[in-house]
Structure 1
Amino acid sequence: MKYLNHIALLFLIGNIGYAQTALYNSGNIRIHQNGQLGFHTDLINDASFDQNLGLAGFYGNTLVSVSGAFMPVFYDTEIANDAGVFLNTGITVTNNTNFVIGDVISPKNQLDVYFNFFRDAFYIGETNGSKVDGFAAITNKQVFSFPVGDSEQLRPLILNSQAENQFAKCAYFFEDANNPISLPNGFDTTRKIRDIGEISTLEFWKLEGSIPSTITINWNARSNMAAFTPDVQNITIVGYSKSANRWLSLGNTAIGGDITQGFVSSETFVPDDYEIITFGTLAVPQEILLLENYLLTPNGDGKNDFLVIPEMIELSPNNSIRIYDRNGLLVFEMTNYTDEFNGISNIDNRVIKRDIGLPQGMYFYLVSLDDLALNFQGFLYLAR
């Protein structure tokens, strides 16, 4: 049952002579366990709206907004509004966010407005058509994949920190770093250290956090990486240093994919030391070789149930393997691999669920043959 206390529903009259409804909270709303509250109109939250245990959903096909002096704190949230939910005031979620259709939108020039995932909060259903178009934030989390993007595409950033972040936030911009539309200052891509070749002028991420971390970002056809380099292994992550006032390389500790779709992981750095982050190229390309692409069908029929790479055992018993999903999230790693991977993750974090098999789709693998001092990469397709 749903219990609502002190709700005032007002009609707001605009200057041009039309009216729209809005839910105006000037008292105290609370959604109790199993309660549900659906917003088909704007929420103006000028009082406490927290300690919720039920579902707060945003529905319809007309843009609705959240504003007011207080940030509402929801337990479960569902976004099912074609036109999206616009945040003038941020939202915190303490449990699940279900992205069905429509974006959570926040002004990218207002750093204090964001969609916040608190401690144990998680999300499902993120797609190109449903994500956070603006700033997503985390509170008391160590590993997190920010479900951010622009109006057209989901472009997540995976953060893996050395300790729990008291607070961190991230947004994606499909804008030229030299002259961004959403930020007050530009970041000259010709101001760079000698080790950097080219720097993307198509897109960037803004990440804030005080804990030393690594990140993983992915590119796709819209990123136009072929314009910078024909060699995937030449791609790196670069950041505009606040102290040096120029672009520095953040490294490329893991790379997977091809020139039209792939991912790269950085070395450890402190996000707060950098204004923005994007793709660059190394002045001197690294060398890596290709192995075969594999099909994995772990259905117990004895065919392609495990990822079998004969070269690892036959040529280099001392080896290691890392497997990533299409966004660059590490899902499996092992030293001295002997054909153990069968579609089950062995990574212990809150981003992936180890009790069920990994979803069907394309994955990238990186192999190190230590006895030969060689590195390899390839694709595998996991079919269910």
Structure 2
Amino acid sequence: MDKYLNLLLYFSLVTLSAQTALYNNGTISIHEGGTLGFHTNLINTSPFDNNLGLAGFYGPQALTVSGTVSSQFYDLEIALDNDLQLEVGLDNSNNTNFILGNIRTPLSQPTVYYNFLDRSFYTGENDLSKIIGYAAITNQQNFVFPIGDSEFMRPLVINSEDSNLFAKCAYFLEDPNNPSSIPGVYTSFDVDLNIEYVSDIEFWRLEGNVPSTVTLSWNARSDMILFTDDATKIVPVGWSKLSQRWINLAGSTPVGSLTDGFVTSSSFVPDDYEIITLGVSKIPYQPLSKEVLSLENYFVSPNGDGINDSFYIPELEESPNNFMQIYDRYGLKVFEQTNYRDQFTGVSNVDNFVITRADGLPVGVYFYTVYLVDLDLNYQGFLYLAR
């Protein structure tokens, strides 16, 4: 037995539906430096929250966590050919490492969720490994919920005015006019005067009582081209519990194109709205009325060969008084620089959720916006980061 792993043997192996499970009806404690690997289901009916070390779920089969008491792990990793299904909540107090496979919670049961406690974070999230269902945060102010559906990551970025004692979010690839996973009908034609269309393809459900801004992104599957031919009119909208209609939550100029981009809301209290999604503004008002011009798309490969090692825009030589910002495809800011020249080499310089900062940002598509102060012009475009 690992000297760092203290297993008080009050558990037994039981058989459920011809599959074994680890049944904890006593106390399991993972000490610092210890590891506990699950290759079978976990049934937890007693406190399992005094843990350090690493717990992991591994193997080719789908695994399930069930029981009556939520488990809490310090470091947790998932490496499953299939997914980890939660029938009871699961808490993480340090790092969640998404290697392979999704963590699933029932979309029809918001009381079951994966909870990121206090300063906990995650790594490795991607389209193949994320949370399908509800993710929650406890005592965190700013967070990117690593949520999506079976095909794509569809995260929501929340920036709150104060720490959230608790907040929770899930993504739904469902028509809000007739959702299959939650009660209610959120008719896309019941809108405020400054909304022209509301997406009937997808929505997010966000709970929290602290005033916050959120950032929503869209991709080709969002089909925003069905609703508008002008990406600058895309806005976040929310179904108001008070007025029982869609409210325009616009707070910033959208970034991107009709097939890829993101937009940030104004500050609102999430609990005032049943669900939120993307819509189209009817009246071009500030900040949407401010013209945004497009520059070329760029390729950056910081590999030391002297070719495209940094992000360089020749036009900025004519406007050295500028402000550059770079975002990932979900709207998370990864870089900003006043009086930008060519400082971006694929490394984040802002305080965000980029954990492996020294290793550089992942390869992929990023958005940039640059404001030319002297000319009072805004530009935006894409860059592709390679290694």
TM-score, normalised to structure 1, is 0.93
- C-alpha separation in 2, matches of 1:214 and 1:194: 22
- Which consecutive unaligned segments of at least 5 residues does structure 2 have? none
Deviation track 1:259-284 (CA, whole Å, cap 9, x = no partner) reads: 11222222222212211111101113
Code of the aligned partner of 1:36: T
Post-superposition Cα deviations, 1:173-231, rounded to whole Å, max 9, x if no partner, equal 00000111110112111111111111110100111122222211211111111111121
Provide the rounded CA distance (Å) in 1 between the counterparts of 2:327 and 2:54.
33
**Secondary structure in 2 matching 1:145:** strand
Asked whether the equivalents of residues 75 and 95 of structure 1 are also in contact (C-alpha less than 8 Å), the reply is: yes
Q: Map of 1:309-348 to 2, 5 A cutoff? A: 309-314=313-318, 316-348=319-351
* Further displaced range: 194-203 or 213-222: 213-222
Which residue among 300, 312, 317 is the counterpart of 1:308? 312
Q: Distance in 2 between matches of 1:356 and 1:337?
A: 22
3-state SS of paired residue (2:249): strand
Aligned residues: CA RMSD: 1.9
State the identity as a percent: 55
**Aligned residue number for residue 221 of structure 2:** 222
Residues 347 and 354 in structure 1, CA contact (< 8 A), matched pair in contact too: no
Are 1:367 and 2:367 an aligned pair? Answer: no
Distance apart, 1:372 and its partner CA: 2.7
1:9 aligns with 12
Kindly indicate whether the alpha-carbon contact (under 8 Å) linking 1:218 and 1:328 is maintained by their aligned counterparts in 2: yes
The structure-2 alpha-carbon separation of the partners of 1:184 and 1:303, relative to structure 1 and needing over 3 Å to count, comes to same
* Matched-pair contact (CA < 8 Å) for 2:348–2:354: no
Pairwise CA distance, 1:76: 1.2
**Pairing of 1:145-156 with structure 2 (within 5 A):** 145-156=144-155
Distance in 1 (alpha carbons) for counterparts of 2:99 and 2:21: 23
The 5 A counterparts of 1:244-323 are 244-285=243-284, 286=288, 287-314=291-318, 316-323=319-326
> 1:196 corresponds to which residue?
195
* Contact kept? 2:233, 2:254, Cα under 8 Å: no
Work out the CA distance in 1 between the residues paired with 2:106 and 2:351.
34
Q: Structure 1 residues 220, 346: closer, same or farther in 2, change over 3 A?
A: same
Judged with a 3 Å threshold, the aligned counterparts in structure 2 of structure 1 residues 375 and 352 are, in CA distance, closer, same or farther, namely farther
Residues paired across the two proteins, number: 379
Using the alignment, how far apart are the partners of 2:141 and 2:315 within structure 1? Answer: 36
Does structure 2 retain, via aligned residues, the 8 Å contact 1:94–1:119? yes
Work out whether residues 91 and 117 of structure 2, in 8 Å CA contact, stay in contact via their aligned partners in 1. yes
Q: Tell me the secondary structure at the aligned position of residue 239 of structure 1.
A: strand
SS in 1 for 2:29: coil
| Residue pair 2:14, 2:23 contacting (<8 A) in 1 also | no
Larger mean CA deviation between 358-367 and 316-325 belongs to 316-325
Structure 1 residue 331 displacement after superposition: 0.7
1:105 corresponds to which letter in structure 2? R
In 1, are the aligned partners of 2:334 and 2:352 still within 8 Å (CA)?
no
Distance (whole Å) between structure 1 residues aligned to residue 84 and residue 113 of structure 2: 12
Kept in 1, the 8 Å contact 2:95–2:121? The answer is yes
The aligned counterpart of 1:142 is 141
Contact 1:38 1:58 in 2 (8 A): yes
Q: Residues 56, 354 of structure 1: CA spacing in aligned structure 2 closer, same or farther, 3 A cutoff?
A: closer
Given the superposition, is the C-alpha separation of residues 21 and 305 from structure 1 closer, same or farther in structure 2, using an over 3 Å criterion? closer
Unaligned runs of 5+ in 1: none
* Distance in 2 of aligned mates of 1:28 and 1:53: 14
Question: Is the CA contact 2:38–2:57 (under 8 Å) kept in the aligned structure 1?
Answer: yes
- The letter of the residue matching 1:358 is L
Q: Residue 83 and residue 334 in structure 1: after superposition, are their counterparts in 2 closer, same or farther (change >3 A)? A: same
Q: Go from structure 1 to structure 2 and tell me whether the alpha carbon gap of 1:79 and 1:254 turns closer, same or farther (over 3 Å shift).
A: farther
Quote the Cα distance in structure 1 between the aligned partners of 2:165 and 2:334: 25
CA distance in 1, matches of 2:135, 2:253: 25
**In structure 2, what is the Cα distance between the partners aligned to 1:306 and 1:126?**
26
The answer to whether the 8 Å contact 2:88/2:112 transfers is yes
Structure 2 SS opposite 1:191: coil
Deviation at 1:338, TM superposition (A): 3.5
- Find the aligned partners of 1:123 and 1:158 in 2 and give their Cα distance: 14
Distance in 1 (alpha carbons) for counterparts of 2:212 and 2:331? 15
Q: How far apart, in 1, do the equivalents of 2:303 and 2:124 lie?
A: 25
CA contact (8 A) 1:145 1:351 kept: no
Match of 2:61 in 1: 62
Distance 2:373 2:112 in 1: 48
Aligned to 2:380: 377
